[in-house]
Structure 1
Amino acid sequence: MEIKTLQYFVRIAKEESITRAANALHITQPTLSRQIKDLETELDVKLFRRSNHNIQLTDEGLLLKNRAEELIEMSRKIQEEFKVIDRNIEGNVYIGCGETKGMEVIANIFKEIQTYHPKVHFHIYSGNAEDIASRLDKGLLDFGLLIQPVNLNKYKALDLPTFDHWGVIAKKDDAFSKKDYVTKTDLSKEALICSRQVLETDIEENEFAEWFGHLYKDLNIVSTFNLAYNAGWMVKANMGYVVTLDSIINTSVESDLKFIPLEPKLIAKHNLVWRKDHTFSKAAQLFLEKAIEACH
């Protein structure tokens, strides 16, 4: 199984047509069909369901597409690293980031490095902690910027000098919006919309759960989310209150939403993490050194 064959397969999956894929790849349709037939024979599965108008992935095909995209991305990353291995510091740094003020630290490091090393390029993958951890574990990212609570046991971690405040998002015409803060007793009586991350029970120090204390197990959580933008729409639809961080959902003057902090105050710390066995490129090593400097 070759990377090029996997690239052909992924292109067909995206185009849902061997003809369109062949045109995009600048190869003949019979050649492309033969490559996919050989791949199906090698794996002993059917990868596509064919109809008169298009083709769709089977369950096995969907699994292969996910794995193939990871392998293609890893192959590209390896090629890029070895192109610059004997040169001055240049190349690519891959960082997964949650929605957080911690990006200010990261962005300032980017700027400092590019001032002196303009051939270093940075690639940001935005996602929640689960997405970022998965890509870190597969070697697709050099670093992850994570927001507490999160399990750090698998990684080396650097505490960033930034944090977010926890609170709730309410409509501006809601009774909560008249409050300067909300308490756990206030929230224990309401429908809540929470990040799936804060509901994980295998995190050793879940400060969110500790803040609620004995009330945590009885919270009325009507919906969960992994990224907060869509949660704001649920507030507007009167589903409940989003429990989230202060820098994620738009609560500007133009918005009809308001952020109300928790009392007593609860903060979410930020961590820059990386795999314990990860081998850094020169560019990624330089980024790590600058990050350590910024945190001390």
Structure 2
Amino acid sequence: MSPNSATPRASRARRGTAPSRRSSLSGLGPLPWIGPAVLLILLVVLWPVYEMVHTSVLRISTSGFVRGSAGLDKYRKLFGETDLGHVLLATVIWTVVVVGLTMVLSLALAQLFNQHFPGRRLTRWALIAPWAASVLMTAIGFKWMLNQTAGVLNTAMTDLGLIDGPQDWLGRPGTAWPWMMFVAVFVSLPFTTYTLLAGLQTVPGEVYEAARVDGASTWQTYLRITLPLLRPAFLVGVVINLINVFNSFPIIWGMTQGGPSSATATTTVFMYQLKSTDIGESAAMSVVNFALVVLLVLVFLKVSRWNEEES
């Protein structure tokens, strides 16, 4: 057999292997592309959840040594805590108030920044400042501003005659909660405002022109056109804020550490407080906290009917 006759057969054999390799890769579908993301989710999300649940059924000493299985004893101990009911109620109020105020104020700011006015670019940049700074740093800054002896708020209000003397703003739950909610709204506004602003800028101008031609008033246009078309961005803002605010730790810990006792603690802070006395009980609180935030998001998505098309 001559070399010339073998070469075409070898080339045909080589050409025949390429389609088989492509067909084997195509059989995997999108797995090669989403594989790294799935692996990252397994390592960053599912593995910590498994460890959290596993730790909650162990008896662990304060020094970190496993002393055996505890079964459901840590959950029984957790649900027997006298502060748990108050902490759960405070967490719900904290989440609803902060998310509600954030969405209302962000909607107003997004509507303002969507208009053309002098200095719009500068004000948009200024809004990013609370977002760019560390949340813990912002919380500590407000803590010093509200300090009873050296805080600028007490000094200014005393000089203006608004109060008779320095107030311990963060020492009492009645005044600590409103200030912590203020800081939480303050740091949540930038992201939510820009999310809603992006949604507003996707609304076609021709829709507003058609509404004006039909004689719709400004309020009717806003209710029947702007808000329905803004619904996807609004849902994204609400869901992300629900998760962030429910799990908020730096603001409360930086300003009051959940004290006095657990009077200004949410479930996340309460979980950290339990860590100093019982690691297993703290892990049980973590499991409950995780289940609550998932349930909260699912209930909201169900009520809002997020996956239904607008008629």
Question: What's the TM-score, normalizing by structure 1?
Answer: 0.24
Name the structure where helix makes up a greater proportion of residues. Answer: 2
Query: Higher relative contact order by CA 8 Å / sep ≥ 6: 1 or 2?
Result: 2
For the pair shown, the structure with the greater C-alpha radius of gyration is 2
Name the structure where strand makes up a greater proportion of residues. Answer: 1
